[in-house]
Amino acid sequence: MFDQIIECAPLGVFDSGVGGLTVAGEIFRQLPAEEIVYLGDTAHVPYGPRAVEELIGFADEIVDFLISQGAKAIVDACNTTSSVALEFLLSKYDIPIIGVVEPGVKAALRHTVSGRVGVIATEATIMSAAHRRKVQQLEPAVQVYGQACPLFVPLVESGETNSGKVRQVAREYLAPLMDQGIDTLILGCTHYPFLVPVLKEVLGPDVNLVDPAWETVRQLGRLLEEKGLTGRDKGTVSPQHRFYVTGAVEPFREVGQRLLGTGYLLERVMQVTLG
Ligand code: DGL
């Protein structure tokens, strides 16, 4: 009975907005038997300029909500809260919770040859130096160069991912990192993989772009196996994913669908008030 409940329980996934869909999409690919319940805290996006205490408060409320929705494990699909709130969440909740910072760093360390790694992320993530601290812990000889990109999240949330404005802003943000001769760039915000075509165009072919989603979901799969929490394949019945937003439903559904592409139909988007 208990096993059956666990097999059918969803994974909780959260972000400030549509960014976590880059991780959700990877869950659909790597762990197709898993069902997700997603929370996009769109009433508070962007998270990047906010204070640490406030971000911890948001993450706490979200995890509480996802647990109330039956989540068996949580993916903090936001680098900002993974940087400043994950420790708090792990100390407060018994449920398995995985963030995106450590997986991103591990993937980058596998790619770099020169030992010069860039990180682009929100202001709060760069200020926390979470990626730098993790690299120092795992591979102290590797140099990390961080760059905050405050305009990227609002652009992606409005569905603007490939315009002249995005290109111009990307050139400005990436120039100092290119001057440092990085060979690997961590996309340290889950909104940024949606900007990959422009980022590639600006960086050229010699810089590896690391989207932490793949490694995060690989680690998640292992964690679920270790804890005996793996979902059961329901045969012909596809998982019934649910999406909640704290702001308006339609912009999230519309932009999210455009960003996810035609492979997945973004249905069941509902508004919720937290706290
Ligand atoms: N996707 C969030 C992250 O990974 C964006 C934070 C924001 O809303 O500024 O950091």
Name the residue of 39, 55, 79 whose CB sits within 8 Å of the most ligand 1 atoms, as the mutation to test its pocket.
Answer: 79
Q: How far apart are CA 221 and CA 167, in angstroms?
A: 35
Ligand 1-lining residues (CB < 6 angstroms):
15-16, 19, 45-48, 78-80, 122, 125, 153, 189-191
- Order of strands across the sheet with 73-76? 97-98, 73-76, 11-15, 36-40, 242-245, 269-271
For residue 35, the CA-to-ligand 1 centroid distance in Å is 23
Q: And the tokens for 146?
A: 């961080």
Q: How far is the CA of 181 from the centre of ligand 1 (A)?
A: 26
Q: Please compute Rg for the chain using Cα positions.
A: 18
Q: Give residue 2's pLDDT.
A: 53
Q: pTM of this prediction?
A: 0.96
The listed CATH number (3.40.50.2000, 3.90.550.10, 3.40.50.150, 3.40.50.1860) that belongs to domain 2-99+214-271:
3.40.50.1860
Fold of 101-211: Rossmann fold (3.40.50)
Closest atom of ligand 1 to CA, residue 44: 8
User: Is 189 an annotated catalytic residue?
Assistant: yes
Give how far Cα 47 sits from Cα of 39, 82, 83, 153, 189, Å.
14, 12, 12, 9, 11
What is residue 180's predicted lDDT score, i.e. its pLDDT?
A: 97
Separation of CA 239 from chain center: 21
Average pLDDT over residues 32-54: 97
pLDDT band for position 270 (cuts 50, 70, 90): very high
> Which H/E stretch holds residue 221?
helix 213-226
Give me the residue spans of the domains in the chain: 2-99+214-271, 101-211
- Ligand 1 center to 179 CA (angstroms): 25
Compute the average pLDDT of residues 113-138: 98
Are 252 and 40 contacting, i.e. CB atoms less than 8 angstroms apart? Answer: yes
Please tell me if the domain spanning 2-99+214-271 has the same topology as the one spanning 101-211: yes
